[in-house]
Amino acid sequence: MAAPTISRTKITVTAGALGALLLIAPPAAMALGWDIFSVIESTISSDIGGALTSITGVQNALRQDQQALLFPVSLINQSHTYINTIMTSYRGWMSGVFTLPVNSAQLASSQNLEKVFLGGSSASLGNMSGLYNNSFGALPVSAAAPQAHRQMMDMDDALAKDALAQSVAADQATSALVVIANQIESESATTAPGTADMLSATARAAELQSLASQHRLLASMLREEAATLAHHNGIRKQGVQQMQQMNTNLQGTIAQH
């Protein structure tokens, strides 16, 4: 049977009109032999009640179709259980891996420097230079080493400090990304139908941040590799200069004799 076409507005207006008639002229209605109460009861129970029952039935049918076709409840619950199982099996293990103690310095000065570049906090980088000099030595004064040697040592120290600072910043960014990843994972274990796209967008943004951090580290590695090549080439240049100076000295000695 087709659902009644009586709208909710018409039903409300009809009930309101009948109620107003009851309040305004009950004696007249009874005088005409018309049991207004019976009419109202019949209207509410038959017409309005039947229409509401039909509307409720249609809504339930639509909800059942959505749960069966668009958002299968059983499959959603199954995916939630699967995600929870994965989180329970490996999240604790991964947290243990992230916090493994890898520090191995023995001396006090070395341990202080190691705490900085393993601490994963860029706020401690202000102490990097002093602690680095305590562990690896300061730059010699101009009277203690040739200028070319001092320049190479200074550049090597600068690149080493830069690489350490980059590693600390990368560790800090990684810790933040792990927190975001855990939040996304936890939300996906309880997410409602229709919110998967939002979680996917958040995950994509976190992935871009991770890629940006990886690219910064790759750039730092390339700089270190370029500096190593420059250092070796600088040693060769110094060797050539020393040979030229030796040749000049020999020629001067021979000329004197």
Residues in the chain: 257
DSSP state of 71: S
| pLDDT on residue 33 | 47
36 touches 26 (CB < 8 A): yes
| pLDDT on residue 155 | 92
DSSP state of 12: H
* β strands within the chain, DSSP E: none
Which residue, 39, 35, 179, 38, is CA-closest to 98?
179
The answer, yes or no, to whether residue 227 has pLDDT greater than 50, is yes
Report the alpha-carbon distance of residue 86 to residue 187 in Å, rounded: 14
pLDDT tens digit sequence for 101-135? 888 889 998 999 999 989 888 888 888 889 999 99
Report the alpha-carbon distance of residue 132 to residue 152 in Å, rounded: 17
Mean pLDDT in residue range 192-218: 83
Which residue, 160, 168, 162, 161, is CA-closest to 115?
168
Average pLDDT, the chain: 79
